[in-house]
């Protein structure tokens, strides 16, 4: 995670960002600290990336790479203003023993790539290039399922889909092309389907450890749906980050194990 000390919305690179709406930087930092404490309270280690001046989106660390085990594919941002984040991530990961591969194609890391423990779901349409799928398969040697995003409000895969464990996902179908909807339905017939209301507060921008699901507190129906399936919803307030089109998951780069175990009773 990276604290939003230089957080701002000064330009607009997604439909959520309106530079005329003021951002409360102190509030953003307080919400970020509460999110960090939430993870730590659940027993997870949080490493902190040093925020860089002039990088107002650096709080969204999910975009910095995809990390699975000892290997990572570094990011290559579409927006020139975010390009400087990529080397900071690469450096941190390399310093921590991760073998980071340089990207050929544009990819915004876990923003568009979701590791399920079995395969990588790879989103494209607004940011990440569809050609990044080939690179993913080369770097990680796992199956890759390409998904096409069609609604600009859901410009990254992690705004429209979350992995709860290695067999369960939750998503908002209308964010995907017809053929991607068919692919998701065939891969995950038991998936939880989110409502438009919950998708529109970026409720799907959630982080699951297989048991607990940390998500935006406004996504109330989604929390109930998740609880019905045996997970523990952990609501948090990330309303300031939403002004930049981000949420819980965007603010979290996961250092995935090479395989994810499914806790008993949740699949
Ligand atoms: N303002 C940032 C951007 O548009 C938000 C990034 C959100 N990150 C994410 N993983 N969805 O690039």
Percent of the chain with pLDDT over 90: 96
**What is the rounded CA–CA span in Å between residue 47 and residue 140?**
23
Which tens digits make up the pLDDT trace of 66-121?
Answer: 999 999 999 999 999 999 999 999 999 999 999 999 999 999 999 999 999 999 99
Distance between CA atoms of residues 205 and 192, nearest Å: 14
Closest ligand 1 atom to Cα of 63: 10
In this prediction, residues 182-208 reach a mean pLDDT of 98
Dihedral pair phi/psi, residue 234, rounded to 5°: -125, 95
What is the model's pTM? 0.95
Strand-strand pairing, 207-208 and 192-193: unpaired
- What are the boundaries of each domain within the chain? 25-251
Ligand 1 contact, 7 CB (< 6 A): no
3 state SS of 48: coil
Give the mean model confidence (pLDDT) for residues 121-146. Answer: 97
- For ligand 1, whether the C-beta of 139 sits within 6 Å is no
Q: Tokens 């919803």, residue?
A: 233
154-194 pLDDT, tens digit per residue, is 999 999 999 999 999 999 999 999 999 999 999 999 999 99
Residues noted as catalytic: 156, 250
250 Cα to the center of ligand 1, angstroms: 6
Counting Cβ atoms within 10 Å, is residue 125 exposed (0-12), middle (13-18) or buried (19+)?
buried
Quick check: CB of 158 below 6 Å from ligand 1?
yes
Model pLDDT, residue 257: 87
Record the tokens describing residue 120, joined without a space.
Answer: 């990588």
> Could you tell me how far CA 135 lies from the centroid of its own chain?
19
CA–centroid distance, residue 146 to ligand 1 (Å):
20
Q: Report residue 51 as tokens.
A: 């925020």
Q: Is 251 in the pocket of ligand 1 (CB under 6 A)?
A: no
Residue-level pLDDT at 258 = 82
Lookup result for tokens 């890759």 = 144
Q: Could you tell me what percent of the chain has a pLDDT over 70?
A: 97
Among candidate residues 12, 33, 25, 7, the one with its CA nearest the CA of residue 237: 33
Mutation test residue for ligand 1: of 10, 12, 14, the one with most atoms within 8 Å of CB: 14
Q: For position 265, what pLDDT does the model report? A: 36
**pLDDT for position 198:** 98
Q: Put the strands of the sheet holding 207-208 in their side by side order.
A: 207-208, 212-216, 232-236
Neighbours of 211 (CB within 10 A): 15
From 256, 254, 255, 253, select the one nearest 61 (Cα to Cα): 253
Q: How many C-beta neighbours within 10 Å does residue 264 have?
A: 7
pLDDT at 47 > cutoff 80: yes
Strands (E), 108-168: 113-115, 120-124, 144-148, 161-163
Q: Report how far Cα 49 is from the mean position of its chain's Cα atoms.
A: 16
What's 25-251's CATH class?
alpha beta
pLDDT of residue 145: 98
Instruction: Output the pLDDT for position 140.
Output: 97
Mean pLDDT of the chain: 96
Q: What band does 216 get if pLDDT is binned at 50, 70 and 90?
A: very high
**Coil, helix or strand at residue 212:** strand
- The sign of the CA dihedral 133, 46, 206, 11 is negative
Complex ipTM value: 0.96
- What are residue 135's phi and psi, to 5 degrees? -65, -40
What span, in angstroms and rounded, lies between the C-alpha atoms of 63 and 107? Answer: 8
pLDDT, tens only, 25-37: 999 999 999 999 9
């Amino acid at each position: 995670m990276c604290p939003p000390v230089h957080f701002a919305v000064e330009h607009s690179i997604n439909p959520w960002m309106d530079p005329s709406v003021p951002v409360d930087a102190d509030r953003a930092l307080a919400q970020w600290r509460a999110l960090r404490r939430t993870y730590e309270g659940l027993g997870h280690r949080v490493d902190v990336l040093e925020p860089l001046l002039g990088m107002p989106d650096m709080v969204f660390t999910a975009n910095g790479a995809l990390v699975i085990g000892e290997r990572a594919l570094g990011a290559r941002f579409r927006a020139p203003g975010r390009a400087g984040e990529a080397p900071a991530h690469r450096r941190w990961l390399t310093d921590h023993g991760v073998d980071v591969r340089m990207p050929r194609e544009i990819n915004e890391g876990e923003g568009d790539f979701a590791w399920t423990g079995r395969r990588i779901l790879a989103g494209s349409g607004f940011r990440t290039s569809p050609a990044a799928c080939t690179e993913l398969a080369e770097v990680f040697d796992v199956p890759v399922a390409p998904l096409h995003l069609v609604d600009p409000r859901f410009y990254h895969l992690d705004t429209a889909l979350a992995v709860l464990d290695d067999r369960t996902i939750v998503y908002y179908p209308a964010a995907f092309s017809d053929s991607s909807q068919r692919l998701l339905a065939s891969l995950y017939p038991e998936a939880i389907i989110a409502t438009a209301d919950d998708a529109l507060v970026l409720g799907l921008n959630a982080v699951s450890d297989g048991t607990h699901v940390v998500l935006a507190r406004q996504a109330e129906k989604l929390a109930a749906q998740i609880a019905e399936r045996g997970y523990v919803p952990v609501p948090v307030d990330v309303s300031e980050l939403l002004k930049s089109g981000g949420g819980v998951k965007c603010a979290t780069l996961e250092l995935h194990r090479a395989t994810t175990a499914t806790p008993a009773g949740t699949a």
